[in-house]
Amino acid sequence: QLQLQESGPGPVKSSETLSLTCIVSGSSLNVGNYYWGWIRQTPGKGLEWIGTIYYTGSTNYNPSLKRRVSISLDPSKNQFSLRLSSVTATDTAVYYCASLGVATITIDNWGPGTLVTVSS
Amino acid sequence: DIQMTQSPSSLSASVGDRVTITCRASQSISGNLNWYQQKPGKAPQLVIYDVSSLHSGVPSRFSGSGSGTGFTLTIRTLQPEDFATYYCQQSYNSPWTFGQGTRVEVK
């Protein structure tokens, strides 16, 4: 069964770069039936899709974050990562990693989520 | 971006009730509409995809309908484990966007 787990260094200071990793088990990243992605959730803006990456390395980012976001794959560790630069307090959120079905763009599997707090 | 608007924002219901949640898209999204259930402190979970297809393991009391810009999620006979927040999501055009959520509370 496909499982995902987010990990990260904890609180981030304003203007720095947020980095999170998603460890995938139960499936190889090198399969063509999933996109691998990040979604975040705040009380104010609700659920926001950040971006996705395909096993080929092709990425798709939310235009609202595109200037600051980067998603990458590490097939050797079966994990993928998120980097969000120049963070502010508005980037404080619960960040989820997820798998998205290629055929339907449904978010089939979610990690439990990790709260990232941006402090000044 | 396609805007997704859910109504109501919250509702109160009792076990056994029939519950209907509406989701409207700012433009036609054909049949590319998904529903998720989220319980406090947990990640959302897929309930229905492509308007009316039940995700694996989801009870048949959940159903979805609609097309174009208007969609509904119906819970036929509300069970205690169904009290949660429900979100719609369009998968028609990137960026994929979500409704603001509908909280189903105990009456």
Q: In a mutagenesis test of the B interface, which of A2, A52, A106 is the best target, namely the one with the most B β-carbons within 10 Å?
A: A106
Is the confidence at residue A10, as pLDDT, over 90?
A: no
Is the confidence at residue B88, as pLDDT, over 90?
A: yes
Is the confidence at residue B26, as pLDDT, over 90?
A: yes
Q: What is the mean pLDDT of residues A19-37?
A: 94
For B96, the closest of A96, A105, A112 (CB atoms) is: A105
**pLDDT at residue number A44:** 85
Residue A84 CB contacts under 8 Å (≥ 6 apart), including other chains? A17, A18, A50, A65, A68, A69, A91
Is the confidence at residue A31, as pLDDT, over 90?
A: no
**Which positions in chain A touch B29 (Cβ < 8 Å)?**
none
What is the rounded distance in angstroms from the CA atom of residue B50 to the CA atom of residue B54? Answer: 9
DSSP string for B16-73: T--EEEEEEESS--TT-EEEEEE-TTS--EEEEETTTEEPTT--TTEEEEEETTEEEE
Assign B95 a pLDDT band (cuts: 50, 70, 90): very high
**pLDDT at residue number A106:** 94
In chain B, which residue's Cα lies nearest the Cα of A108? Answer: B46
**pLDDT at residue number A7:** 95
**pLDDT at residue number A79:** 97
For A46, the closest of B55, B96, B101 (CB atoms) is: B101
Give the pair of three-digit tokens for residue A70: 């980067």
In chain A, which residue's Cα lies nearest the Cα of B95? Answer: A62
Is the confidence at residue A120, as pLDDT, over 90?
A: no
Residue B100, min C-alpha distance to chain A (Å): 6
Q: What is the mean pLDDT of residues B20-42?
A: 97
Residue B91, min C-alpha distance to chain A (Å): 6
Task: Kindly list the distances between the CA atom of residue A104 and the CA atoms of B51, B53, B89, B98, B107, in Å, as whole numbers in the listed order.
Answer: 11, 11, 11, 15, 35
- Percentage of the residues of chain A whose pLDDT score is greater than 70: 100
Residue A110, min C-alpha distance to chain B (Å): 6
**Which positions in chain B touch A113 (Cβ < 8 Å)?**
43
